[in-house]
Amino acid sequence: MASEQELSTSFIPALYKPAALLPIARHKASLLYLVEKYPVTIVVGQTGSGKTTQLPQYLDQAGWCEDGKLIAVTQPRRVAATTVATRVAEEMRCQVGEAVGYSIRFEDLTSAETRVKFLTDGMLLREALVDPLLSRYSVIMVDEAHERSLSTDVLLGILKKIRKKRPELRIIISSATLQAEDFLRFFAGDEYHPDADSAELGGSIGRIISLEGRMYPVDTLFLESPAEDYVERAVKTVFDIHTQESEGDILVFLTGREEIDRAIQLISERAADLHPKSDSLVPLPLYAGLTTEQQMYVFEPTGENSRKVIVSTNIAEASVTIDGIVYVVDCGFAKLRAYNPSTGIETLTAVPISKASATQRAGRAGRTRPGKCFRLYTEQTYEQLPEATIPEIQRSNLAPIVMQLKALGIDNIVRFDFLTSPPAELVIRAFELLFSLGAVDDYAKLTKPLGMRMAELAVDPMMAKVLLAAPTFNCLSEMLSIAAMVSLQGTVWVQSYDNKKAAESHRRKFAVEEGDHLTYLNVYQAFVTKGKKDSKWCRDHLLNYRAMQRAVSIRGQLKRYLERFGIQVDETLSRQQTVDTSRQPEQIQRCLTTGYFAHAAKMQPDGTFKTVSGGLTLHAHPSSLMFNRKADWVIFHEIMQTGDKTYIRDITKIEKNYLLEYAPEYYKVT
Q: Summarize as ranges the residues that interact with DNA (CB under 7 A).
A: 76-79, 104-105, 108, 120, 122-123, 126-127, 149-151, 255-258, 287-289, 313-315, 319-320, 334-337, 348, 392, 400, 458-460, 487, 489-490, 500, 504, 557, 560-561, 621-623, 627, 638, 640, 642-643, 645, 647, 649
Q: Give the strand pairing for 345-352 and 633-642.
A: parallel
Smallest distance from DNA to CB 400, Å: 5
Smallest distance from DNA to CB 39, Å: 25
Smallest distance from DNA to CB 50, Å: 22
Letter for the amino acid at 459?
V
The alpha carbon torsion through 515, 518, 521, 525 (nearest 10 deg) reads: -100
Which residue lies nearer to DNA by CB, 57 or 557? Answer: 557
Which residue lies nearer to DNA by CB, 280 or 642? Answer: 642
Which residue lies nearer to DNA by CB, 35 or 408? Answer: 408
Which residue lies nearer to DNA by CB, 127 or 279? Answer: 127
CB 592 within 8 A of CB 655: no
Smallest distance from DNA to CB 81, Å: 7
Which residue lies nearer to DNA by CB, 394 or 577? Answer: 394
Letter for the amino acid at 438?
G
Smallest distance from DNA to CB 315, Å: 4
> What's the CA gap between 469 and 476, in Å, rounded?
8
Q: Which of 426, 493, 489 is nearest to 459 (CA)?
A: 489
Query: Residue 563 class from Cβ within 10 Å (0-12 exposed, 13-18 middle, 19+ buried)?
Result: exposed
> What's the CA gap between 582 and 641, in Å, rounded?
36
From the CB of residue 8, how many other CB atoms can be counted at a distance below 10 Å?
Answer: 17
Helix (H) or strand (E) holding 44: strand 40-45
Smallest distance from DNA to CB 63, Å: 27
> What's the CA gap between 258 and 642, in Å, rounded?
13
Smallest distance from DNA to CB 254, Å: 10
Smallest distance from DNA to CB 259, Å: 8
CB 644 within 8 A of CB 627: no
> If you ran DSSP here, which 8-state letter would residue 528 be given?
I
Which residue lies nearer to DNA by CB, 587 or 646? Answer: 646
> What's the CA gap between 413 and 79, in Å, rounded?
31
Which residue lies nearer to DNA by CB, 142 or 241? Answer: 142
- Which residues sit opposite 75 in a β-bridge? 120
Helix (H) or strand (E) holding 535: helix 535-540
Which residue lies nearer to DNA by CB, 204 or 553? Answer: 553
Letter for the amino acid at 609?
F
